[in-house]
Amino acid sequence: MSRFATVLVCLLAFAGLGQSLTPGWASTEPCADPHGSRGAEPYAPTSAQIAEMQADLEMRRRVRGAAGQVGADEFITVPLWIHLLGDGVRGATTQSALRQVEVLNAAYGGRLGGADTRVRFRLEGVNRVVNKVWFRDPLGNETAMKTALRKGGQDTLNLYIAQLSELVLGYATYPHWYARSPKLDGVVIDWRTLPGGALKNFDRGYTGVHEIGHWLGLLHTFENGCAEPGDHVADTPAAGQATEGCPARKDTCKTIPGDDPIHNFMDYSHDRCMTEFTTGQGVRMREMWQQYRVPAAEPLEISA
């Protein structure tokens, strides 16, 4: 079969028009996956929104002082609710969702490489939901789905596992949005990105790791390209553009020390290429947690 024909069959299957996937995992799905890249992320912030995010963080630093900081050795534990959507035929198994949680704790604990971010996740429960409409178009039905399902307060990570598309693997809201849209707070990922999932190159659960990084306030390592302030984390080398695939090495900012951080979870590399967070990313996530997520942190009124 030609590559084009293979891709077409796969697209039909993904659209529900071709060969049906079996319930639960479809790891035997014969399709070559059409994904070459992570594609676009809905809600990816614009430069203006990133500037707003930083201004809000800096305002909080001024107002809260030491109360907004987390000790260098201190751990944070994120309560996690998983909403496992299905349409009655397709959808991830509870077992694969549990494996996703294991991957989160391994990645954030530095057990796959890189630094221990001192961020951990504690599963509160798995909420299985059969809803064809929400499963097949979580983005288009976002308000209804999240309003009905979201659990917990500002510290609770709600992870919705449904079906996105071949162009979108996942998306997240950012910490400072919580005060304005608490019901929409959370992360949505495609069920086929879970560990052992059907999306070739994106089947180790690192889409969840990446999107939750955004939920905890991380930006892409290629944010701002080679220009300062990059991703607002000092120990991630600058990158001029996102990484596709898994190159041996890449250096898009020749005048700045350091190769592109192609193994960082906040790049766009294939899952097999991703291994690490940095110490600085851990510090940023834990500060964001302290400023925006801990229940004791009353939302501050933001004045211009």
Q: How far is the CB of 194 from Zn ion (least distance, A)?
A: 17
**Which C-beta is closer to Zn ion: that of 114 or that of 170?**
170
Q: Residues near 142 by Cβ (< 8 Å), separated by ≥ 6?
A: 184, 188
**Which C-beta is closer to Zn ion: that of 29 or that of 276?**
276
**Which C-beta is closer to Zn ion: that of 29 or that of 142?**
142
**Which C-beta is closer to Zn ion: that of 33 or that of 41?**
41
Q: How far is the CB of 90 from Zn ion (least distance, A)?
A: 25
Could you tell me which residues are beta bridge partners of residue 39? Answer: 168
Q: How far is the CB of 226 from Zn ion (least distance, A)?
A: 19
Q: Residues near 299 by Cβ (< 8 Å), separated by ≥ 6?
A: 154, 178, 179
- In 3-state terms, what secondary structure has residue 6? helix
Instruction: Please work out, in degrees rounded to the nearest 5, the angle formed at the alpha carbon of residue 278 by the alpha carbons of 273 and 279.
Output: 160
Contacts from 222-225 at CB under 8 Å and sequence distance 24+? Answer: 222/260, 222/267, 222/268, 223/50, 224/47, 225/253
Out of 29, 41, 142, 211, which one is annotated catalytic? 211
**Which C-beta is closer to Zn ion: that of 41 or that of 287?**
41
Q: How far is the CB of 2 from Zn ion (least distance, A)?
A: 32
Q: Are strands 76-86 and 170-172 parallel, antiparallel or unpaired?
A: unpaired
Determine the Cα–Cα distance for residues 34 and 252; give it in Å rounded to an integer.
26
Determine the Cα–Cα distance for residues 211 and 41; give it in Å rounded to an integer.
9
Residues that bind Zn ion (CB under 5 A): 41
Give the residue closest to Zn ion by C-beta: 41
Reported in sequence order, the residue ranges of 38-166 that DSSP labels E, i.e. its strands, are: 76-86, 119-130, 157-162
Q: How far is the CB of 186 from Zn ion (least distance, A)?
A: 15
Q: Residues near 267 by Cβ (< 8 Å), separated by ≥ 6?
A: 220, 221, 222, 239, 242, 243, 260, 261, 274
Residue 102 designated active-site: no
- Give the catalytic positions in this structure: 211
